[in-house]
Amino acid sequence: MIAPELLHAAGLGLATGLALIVAIGAQNAFVLRQGILGQHVGAIVAACALSDAVLIAAGVFGTGALITAAPAAVVVLRYVGAAFLVTYGLMAARRALRPQALTAEGGPAQDGKPATGSARCGLAAALGTILALTWLNPHVYLDIALLGSLANAQGSPLQWWFGAGAMVGSILWFCSLGFGARFLRGFFAKPRSWRFLDGGIAVTMVALGAGLALGG
């Protein structure tokens, strides 16, 4: 039987991880969109969960303290991430001007016609995008530094249970977001729904990018 203090540390890590992950952001917006389209969902969810596992483990190991001690690296990431977010936001705005719908087969269609090749996102492009949205976001390193400090405050070996709880929270969230998005397909059978989604993604991405560039 697992000791209560271990379960408490794991539960605290789960709650803390979810609190940091469950928010409207670039990463979650991309996972949601791909989940609705049903494109490479398993690979994207796995990439998100594995990335979070690596980052959380690094935080527990104390890497977060090293990150906070290297402000120059965070500044570089901030501007690179800002440029990427603004670019992706402009791409989403372009999609909003030419909204898609979902066909009966579950694939995207545009203006009542079958989707063109540009409407789909290849596996390599999808993974490249989600990895960039994850690793080029300087805020994630601040979150990992926070998680690491909270984990290590639990003492040994509780910090690893805290970290494991945070990892489980990440897996649960991304699985729910990615695979649960398919229940919204009926709503997104209408091009107008895609216009709202991509318009919201565009505003979110550009706002996040501007905030990063301005030091937010």
> Mean pLDDT across the stretch 168-192?
88
pLDDT of residue 187: 79
Query: Is the model more confident about 64 or about 55?
Result: 55
Alpha-carbon dihedral 116, 194, 43, 48, rounded to 10 degrees: 140
115 DSSP 8-state letter:
P
pLDDT of residue 104: 35
Q: Indicate the pLDDT class of residue 127, thresholds 50, 70 and 90.
A: very high
Is pLDDT above 90 for 28? no
Q: Indicate the pLDDT class of residue 68, thresholds 50, 70 and 90.
A: low
Q: How crowded is residue 46: how many other Cβ atoms within 10 Å of its Cβ? A: 17
Is pLDDT above 60 for 197? yes
Question: Does the pTM of the predicted model rise above 0.75?
Answer: no
Amino acid at 175: C
Spacing of C-alpha 190 from chain mean position: 25
Query: Is the model more confident about 142 or about 179?
Result: 179
pLDDT of residue 77: 67
Query: Is the model more confident about 124 or about 112?
Result: 124
With beta carbons less than 8 A apart as the criterion, state whether 26 and 85 touch. Answer: yes
Is pLDDT above 90 for 215? no
Give bridge partners of residue 101 from the DSSP assignment.
Answer: 109
3-state class percentages of the chain: helix first, strand second, coil last, to nearest 5: 80, 5, 20
